[in-house]
A and B are shown apart, each in its own frame.
Chain A
Amino acid sequence: MKNKTNISGKKSGFKIPEHYFKELEARILEQKSQDSETSNISSGFNVPKDYFENFNLELPYDSDEKQPRVIQLTPWLKWISAACIIGFGLFGTLYIDSISQPKNNLEFTDLDDDMIENYIDYNIENPEDFIDLNKNSNFDDLINKNIVNLKDQDILNYLDEHLEDNEFNED
């Protein structure tokens, strides 16, 4: 295909101002830069004059970075350090174990609206679909749906944990 940059308005008689195309690019670029700088005008925020023109940042060179200091340990200091590390390790394990135990059960009513809204936003691909899908369902339906998805072993585990022996002996 031929390069068509030399198309002129000779046949149609149309004319363009002198240097029009030459100046067009510069004008568009200028406009683009103005647009992007004023794009936040609806927020009311402003920047100092020539802030973006003067914004500059020097490269951080590795040679300027501080080197870590290496401390040589004497033999007795090594043993003390090792004992401290083991001590901290043991303490850490016990502490993590103690805090990982659930302290109390969080009820649905304890959650605030924002938390529930965020949960739905994060976990459901199309929340509108979820609402449409479930708006005619009642609470029992939802519970039943969930029970269908439970594995047999889960149900047995639940019964083991929650039913007292005497309930089996009633009959």
Chain B
Amino acid sequence: MKEEDIIKNLQNGTNQDEAFRTLISEHKVRLYWHIRNIVKVHEDADDVLQNTFLKVYKNIDKFKGDSKLFSWMYRIGTNESITFLNKKAKKLKISDQEFKDYLIDSLQSDVYFEGDQIQIELQKAIETLPEQQKKVFNMRYFEDLSYEDMSEILESSIGALKSNYHHARKKVEKFLKND
């Protein structure tokens, strides 16, 4: 099923089940990794992924086709992940820095994390980055997204994104060298 047909069927209500299943099947892997890089823990990524698909389904009428469908879905996924983390931090009643430390500690006990010490240090370095630089670094370094796609998803200029990535890389390098 073509992307236009998926959108049309979801918006019109014809073959909705099939269209929704196709949408999930085509985007679940990339969207999962995008979310996982933000929330870190598998169970949380699973919750956020499900919420993201449900939100996409409920708001499909608001999708006007101004951007690619996947960019729109990525945007929803990003916002859902950040909202999820904010809620979690609020629930734990800990400071921003304590919450970042908590995320990294969770990795060390996560059965679905098989990274070595360098990868844990890399995650620590990423957590020191400002929010926008963190998003850009994850999308470029781990998800290998093009600047054009990132520009659509993050609604930012390519020049600004390149600069974000440049600053983020420098900071990550500095963190890893000093650690």
Contacts and interface: CB of A to CB of B under 8 A. Distances in A.
B115 A44 contact: yes
Given A114-B130, A121-B160, A122-B156, A46 B113 contact: yes
Interface range on chain B: under 10, 10 to 19, 20 to 34, or 35 or more?
A: 35 or more
SS class, residues of chain B in contact with chain A: helix
A123 B10 CA distance: 37
B74 interface: no
B58 interface: yes
A125 B120 contact: no
A37 B17 contact: no
A42 to B, nearest CB: 7
B117 to A, nearest CB: 10
Contacts of B42: 45-48, 51
Nearest to B50: A57
A161 interface: no
Nearest to A122: B160
A105 interface: no
B102 interface: no
Nearest to A126: B159
Q: Which of A45, A46, A129 has the largest count of B CB atoms less than 10 A from its CB?
A: A45
Given A60-B58, A117-B130, A43 B115 contact: yes
A124 B53 contact: no
Contacts of B116: 44
A127 B17 contact: no
A26 B4 CA distance: 26
A124 B160 contact: yes
B146 to A, nearest CB: 15
A40 interface: yes
Interface of A: 33, 36-37, 39-40, 42-48, 51-52, 55-57, 59-60, 114, 117-118, 120-122, 124-129
Given A46-B114, A60-B58, A118-B130, 19 more contacts: A36-B29, A40-B36, A42-B119, A43-B122, A43-B123, A44-B116, A45-B40, A45-B112, A46-B42, A47-B42, A48-B42, A52-B28, A55-B28, A56-B24, A57-B20, A60-B57, A120-B163, A121-B160, A126-B159
Sorted nearest first, the 3 A-B pairs with minimum C-beta distance are: A44-B115, A44-B119, A126-B159
